[in-house]
Copies of this chain bind each other. A is one copy, B any other.
């Protein structure tokens, strides 16, 4: 029997989970308490168990991004190995989805070569942050968007956002305790778009530090409210100090939009340049 590696693309609503993967006990956890002896549910754990029920053996499930509690994903990437290669691939996807709760969905399963690694093969990621900008909150999307009623200066936010693009040391935009020796990252795109009542901030990069997108969003929102000048982003970056940047936006507006992974040749070429595992 030969072992096959599979790449998964996953979407989930993070509201009812303690993030992708438990990273120690969080005292701010407000969700339902887990059944005795089962631990606080993580998306990784629930997905792993669903795959195991289908392939009938234990699997190691590795995810590309450790999304925090309440953060959502439209395109998380993960991999696992199995020798049950006789299961047709669309049957496998359907069988796993049938075992999953309604707020987690495997969008795609595809065979990957043995060099593929959800963490190491990641070359580019996009996050999107959605703000519900209306006088009243939406009772329907309360866990899917951040509600801000304030009138925002969109043009100011757009020109501030452009200052994040490029290769910078983003130490000012990382939650202390992130544990990364290297805080230099390349941001390929940082854009603000608005279609009433939704304001969408998209950030694309080769990797992100812990809470980096949420701190960028929180800072841009302060620009939008006229509390921070547009041109201050460059100075904030230069300070390399978390206290120089703005507030951290809450998790419920954040979506891991997609992850671009390298194919075999690419991955091998980049093997000495391991992208960090982060938010």
Partner of A142, one of B102, B136, B140: B102
Give A222 Cβ to nearest chain B Cβ, in Å: 23
Q: Mark A122-142, 1 if CB is under 8 A from B, else 0.
A: 000000000000001111101
By the criterion CB–CB under 8 Å, are A139 and B32 in contact?
no
Oligomeric state, in number of copies? 2
Residue of B nearest to A72 (CB): B140
Please give, as numbers and ranges, the residues of chain B lying within 8 Å of A136 by CB-CB distance. Answer: 97, 105, 107
Q: Mark A1-35, 1 if CB is under 8 A from B, else 0.
A: 00000000001110000000000000000001000
**Interface bracket on A:** 20 to 34
Partner of A139, one of B11, B137, B139, B142: B11
Please give, as numbers and ranges, the residues of chain B lying within 8 Å of A32 by CB-CB distance. Answer: 32
Q: Is A231 an interface residue (CB 8 A)?
A: no
Q: Is A144 an interface residue (CB 8 A)?
A: yes
Q: Is A45 an interface residue (CB 8 A)?
A: no
Residue of B nearest to A11 (CB): B139
Residue of B nearest to A32 (CB): B32
Please give, as numbers and ranges, the residues of chain B lying within 8 Å of A147 by CB-CB distance. Answer: 102
Please give, as numbers and ranges, the residues of chain B lying within 8 Å of A263 by CB-CB distance. Answer: none
Give A70 Cβ to nearest chain B Cβ, in Å: 12
Please give, as numbers and ranges, the residues of chain B lying within 8 Å of A144 by CB-CB distance. Answer: 140
A13, B142: Cα distance in complex, Å: 9
Please give, as numbers and ranges, the residues of chain B lying within 8 Å of A105 by CB-CB distance. Answer: 136-139
Contact sample, A vs B, 19 pairs, CB 8 Å cutoff: A11-B139, A11-B140, A13-B140, A32-B32, A72-B140, A97-B136, A102-B137, A102-B139, A102-B142, A102-B143, A102-B147, A103-B139, A103-B140, A103-B142, A105-B136, A105-B137, A105-B138, A105-B139, A107-B136
